[in-house]
Amino acid sequence: MPKVDATSPADEAPAKTVQVLLPLLVPSPYDYAVPQENDVEVGSIVRVPLGARLVTGVVWGEGSGEVASERLRAIAEIKDVPPLKESLRAFIGWVARYTVSHESLVLRMILRVPEAFDPPVPLRALRLAGDAPERMTPARRRVLDLMADGMARPAREIALVASVASSVPKGLIAAGCLEEVVLPHRPSFAVPDPTVARPDLSSEQQAAAETLGQAVAAKTFETLVLEGVTGSGKTEVYFDALARVLEQGRQVLVLLPEIALSVQFLARFEERFGVAPAVWHSDVPRRLRRDVWRGVATGEVKVVVGARSALFLPFCDLGLMVVDEEHDGSYKQDDGVCYHGRDMAVVRASLEQIPIVLCSATPSLETLANVDKGRYRHIFLPVRHGGASMPDVTTVDMTGAGTERGHWLSPTLVKAMQACLEAGEQSLLYLNRRGYAPLTLCRTCGHRLECPNCSAWLVEHRHRARLQCHHCGIWSPRPEACPQCHDSDSLVACGPGVERLAEEVAERFPDARMEIMASDTLLGPDDVAALVGRIERGELDILIGTQVAAKGHHFPMLTLVGVVDADLGLDGGDPRAMERTWQLLHQVAGRAGREDRPGRVLLQTHEPRHPVMRALVSGDRETFLAREKEGRQEAGMPPYGRLAGIVLSGTNEEQVRRLAHDLARNAPRGRDLVTFGPAPAPLSLLRGRFRWRLLVKAGREVNIQAALRTWLEPVQLKGSLRLQIDVDPLSFL
């Protein structure tokens, strides 16, 4: 701070200066002068000049005094929204330090909805006024019919709904038949009511709910792990805790994976609390996002159900966080600021001094290791609600199972499906592969159809008649002839996707009602809701689904789950391959027999003796986890060691390779610290960029972030070169 000259008159005192953090890649906050008539506090959201433009930023502290105050530019505008709270500012710093990123880039995730900083614009609308016009036309008739209910509607909407030109409503205003009104913008977020439909909890559920309730009442930081078999009522239990927070008048954040597909969850919430929660994910329309952001900041919004990005909302009085399906990999963001939503949620809860509940039927080893260390409190729900039994899981050995060429269903599975059909029950065929076939090959020359931008095969999507890259989205029609040897009719589809499986099902069960459920066959929440409705009403016999069908759904009539390829996902060098496969298959299996009809699960596998299959069949979670933990411990892998992935990429392969080797020469090495690589990434080309990888591995006691900063901060990246740091990577592609 520049010293105040004691002799200068008060009204000429040097302007107050503050640092403003900007959501741009700049090294540190900049100093700005605060105009005399204004007052700002740390956390205020402001507009400041930067070069020739205005940028929105956040007051970060007192001015550094490095620039003479008379040369400073002044804050242009102070936004009329609550300043970012200290706990949120501390969170920004924490995330930046942990992920070896920049505060400015974390701030960018918070300021992502710029419309939220301005008062909402009033909506202009038209309403019926006066009598019929002198001159009536069919178009005018349609408009007046529409408006006869007396409702006010925006002119654009009137034109659209009545299918008339925009001049028609205007003409009706001139004729005095419609009048202009200004509608106050009133986002209505009704407050969820904790008493609407309180269920009778079983004694186990009640005990779990009491433990959560105590944590809520204590209003301090604690991490609770709510583990329970699928269908044990975990959701009901944390709803109970949520109700208690609502009684305190505080806010709740529930994080869900795949929130865009969680229609059943939202319906359940509404049944329990009388109103829908505010929803937050990237597909929510901007206007609504603006309202949610403001409502969260002012306290009007009480419950947000969101994707990982909801972690960066400016809650004014958060009382509880829940991370449902905490083991789910979609909580990890692996570009930009690479953070794990679950882990950062725990950090935020500690900064807010509130309890957090991590919920799963198959908690991650990371979470279980924290339970073992006594850092997290563990609550366990051992049985399904209402006496439903756990499904009976068996394997079908596919070596010599008698499956016909070009077919994927074993006779055992087909027989079980037949029995299910005859009993009027539903079955789910699970295959985590979208499209028709993962590979198209030329029979004549062996050429494989690959993406020109990525080192990946093109996946055939037959119902859309195209070949598509699942990494960059590029697509083309299926060629008639081989692009390499030009032989015609030589291309063959290899391997199954859900579409191809549907073909086999149609052939075997021509009368069964069947549908595919995959992220690319569902166009949005309405589509999901419609499909879920058809399944619930029993209008479907066989559901063929990818991961989106595995998660969270509760279908009473579903009694058979057939996992078409249980080995998928066990290959490759991923240290979590076994854990992840076990979690996913356990989750899918948990869809079967959730009510009074017992469920059955068939796992088609080439390795029935594999530890994952054995654990699923026996239901012996302890042995499996103990083995997994031991293996990781011996290898010094997470959660018993630390990893950081470094991905270098660029459009010039030679430059990327050279940078990778240069970096490797100064790579951190030391006690309990090694760097592997460089090596071309398994996905060595992605969206036209060549990729190389390094992997840093360290003991738990090592400050891996400090080592990464010392090593990588001085690196100057030229041209197209990029460097991505991923602390605690989940993906090694």
Write out the residues near ligand ADP by the rule CB under 6 A: 199-202, 205, 228, 230-236, 385, 554
Minimum distance of ligand ADP from residue 95's CB (angstroms): 29
392: its two tokens: 């009976």
What's the CA gap between 63 and 3, in Å, rounded?
Answer: 12
Among ligand ADP, Zn ion, none, what does residue 454 contact (CB within 5–8 Å per kind)?
Zn ion
Minimum distance of Zn ion from residue 460's CB (angstroms): 14
Minimum distance of Zn ion from residue 493's CB (angstroms): 15
134: its two tokens: 């002198």
Residue 447 as a binder of Zn ion (CB under 5 A): the answer is yes
Question: Which residue's CB is nearer to Zn ion, number 87 or number 490?
Answer: 490
Residue 445 as a binder of Zn ion (CB under 5 A): the answer is yes
Among Zn ion, ligand ADP, none, what does residue 472 contact (CB within 5–8 Å per kind)?
Zn ion
Interhelix angle 263-273/525-536, nearest 10 degrees: 80
Interface mask (CB under 5 A) for Zn ion, residues 593-622, using x and -? ------------------------------
Beta pairing class for 426-430 and 641-650? unpaired
Measure the CA dihedral 537/540/544/546, to 10°.
-20
Minimum distance of Zn ion from residue 547's CB (angstroms): 20
CA distances from 465 to 459, 527, 545 (A): 11, 21, 20
Burial (CB count <10 Å: 0-12, 13-18, 19+), residue 215: buried
Among ligand ADP, Zn ion, none, what does residue 417 contact (CB within 5–8 Å per kind)?
none
Question: Could you say which of 241, 245, 442, 563 contacts Zn ion (CB under 5 A)?
Answer: 442
What's the CA gap between 490 and 449, in Å, rounded?
Answer: 12
Minimum distance of ligand ADP from residue 202's CB (angstroms): 6
Q: Given phi > 0 = left and psi -120 to 50 = alpha, else beta, which region is 564?
A: alpha
In 3D, which of 250, 267, 254, 198 has the Cα closest to residue 226? Answer: 254
Among ligand ADP, Zn ion, none, what does residue 233 contact (CB within 5–8 Å per kind)?
ligand ADP
End-to-end CA distance of the chain: 49
What's the CA gap between 246 and 37, in Å, rounded?
Answer: 40
Question: Could you say which of 112, 471, 513, 658 contacts Zn ion (CB under 5 A)?
Answer: 471
Minimum distance of ligand ADP from residue 362's CB (angstroms): 11
Question: Which residue's CB is nearer to Zn ion, number 309 or number 484?
Answer: 484
Interface mask (CB under 5 A) for Zn ion, residues 476-495, using x and -? ------x-xx----------
Minimum distance of Zn ion from residue 680's CB (angstroms): 16
Among Zn ion, ligand ADP, none, what does residue 492 contact (CB within 5–8 Å per kind)?
none
Question: Which residue's CB is nearer to ligand ADP, number 234 or number 378?
Answer: 234
Question: Which residue's CB is nearer to ligand ADP, number 198 or number 700?
Answer: 198
Minimum distance of ligand ADP from residue 358's CB (angstroms): 13
572: its two tokens: 């490759």
What's the CA gap between 325 and 363, in Å, rounded?
Answer: 8
Q: Tell me the three state secondary structure of residue 382.
A: coil
Question: Which residue's CB is nearer to ligand ADP, number 235 or number 440?
Answer: 235
Among Zn ion, ligand ADP, none, what does residue 508 contact (CB within 5–8 Å per kind)?
none
Region near Zn ion per CB under 5 A, out of 327-335, 386-394, 400-408, 452-460: 452-460
Residue 79 as a binder of Zn ion (CB under 5 A): the answer is no
Among Zn ion, ligand ADP, none, what does residue 146 contact (CB within 5–8 Å per kind)?
none
CA distances from 635 to 468, 630, 699 (A): 38, 9, 11
Among Zn ion, ligand ADP, none, what does residue 199 contact (CB within 5–8 Å per kind)?
ligand ADP
Among ligand ADP, Zn ion, none, what does residue 234 contact (CB within 5–8 Å per kind)?
ligand ADP
Minimum distance of Zn ion from residue 686's CB (angstroms): 7
For the chain, give the longest Cα–Cα distance: 98
Minimum distance of Zn ion from residue 653's CB (angstroms): 16
Question: Which residue's CB is nearer to Zn ion, number 56 or number 453?
Answer: 453
Minimum distance of ligand ADP from residue 305's CB (angstroms): 14
In 3D, which of 342, 377, 345, 378 has the Cα closest to residue 228? Answer: 378
Question: Which residue's CB is nearer to Zn ion, number 12 or number 335?
Answer: 335
Question: Which residue's CB is nearer to ligand ADP, number 256 or number 304?
Answer: 256
Question: Which residue's CB is nearer to ligand ADP, number 104 or number 264?
Answer: 264
Question: Which residue's CB is nearer to ligand ADP, number 324 or number 726?
Answer: 324
Question: Is the omega angle on the peptide bond into residue 639 within 30 degrees of 0, that is, cis?
Answer: yes
Question: Which residue's CB is nearer to ligand ADP, number 176 or number 199?
Answer: 199
- Cα 727 from chain centre: 18
Q: Tell me the three state secondary structure of residue 380.
A: strand
Question: Which residue's CB is nearer to ligand ADP, number 586 or number 693?
Answer: 586
527: its two tokens: 């589509």
Residue 459 as a binder of Zn ion (CB under 5 A): the answer is no
What's the CA gap between 160 and 169, in Å, rounded?
Answer: 11
Among ligand ADP, Zn ion, none, what does residue 444 contact (CB within 5–8 Å per kind)?
Zn ion
Q: What is the DSSP letter of 43?
A: T
Question: Which residue's CB is nearer to ligand ADP, number 461 or number 591?
Answer: 591
What's the CA gap between 390 and 400, in Å, rounded?
Answer: 29
CA distances from 713 to 101, 496, 723, 725 (A): 10, 46, 11, 11
Question: Which residue's CB is nearer to Zn ion, number 439 or number 625?
Answer: 439
- Cα 182 from chain centre: 37
Residues making up the chain, counted from first to last = 733
Q: How many CA atoms lie within 13 A of 709 on its CB side?
A: 11
Question: Could you say which of 56, 309, 444, 731 contacts Zn ion (CB under 5 A)?
Answer: 444
Question: Which residue's CB is nearer to Zn ion, number 294 or number 689?
Answer: 689
Among ligand ADP, Zn ion, none, what does residue 445 contact (CB within 5–8 Å per kind)?
Zn ion
Among Zn ion, ligand ADP, none, what does residue 581 contact (CB within 5–8 Å per kind)?
none
The sign of the CA dihedral 410, 415, 420, 422 is positive
In the sheet with 641-650, reading across from the earlier edge strand, the strands are 673-686, 689-699, 641-650, 722-727
Residue 453 as a binder of Zn ion (CB under 5 A): the answer is yes
The residue type of 603 is L
Residue 451 as a binder of Zn ion (CB under 5 A): the answer is yes
Among Zn ion, ligand ADP, none, what does residue 629 contact (CB within 5–8 Å per kind)?
none
Interface with Zn ion (CB under 5 A), residue total: 13
Minimum distance of Zn ion from residue 470's CB (angstroms): 8
58: its two tokens: 């956040």
Which residue's entry shows tokens 């959730």? 594
Measure the CA dihedral 19/23/26/28, to 10°.
30
Q: Provide φ and ψ at 223, rounded to 5°.
A: -105, 125
The sign of the CA dihedral 683, 687, 692, 695 is negative
Question: Which residue's CB is nearer to ligand ADP, number 313 or number 557?
Answer: 557
Which residue's entry shows tokens 């509940």? 357
Among Zn ion, ligand ADP, none, what does residue 200 contact (CB within 5–8 Å per kind)?
ligand ADP
Which residue's entry shows tokens 């920004």? 92
Enumerate binding residues for Zn ion (CB under 5 A).
Answer: 442, 444-445, 447, 451, 453-454, 469, 471-472, 482, 484-485
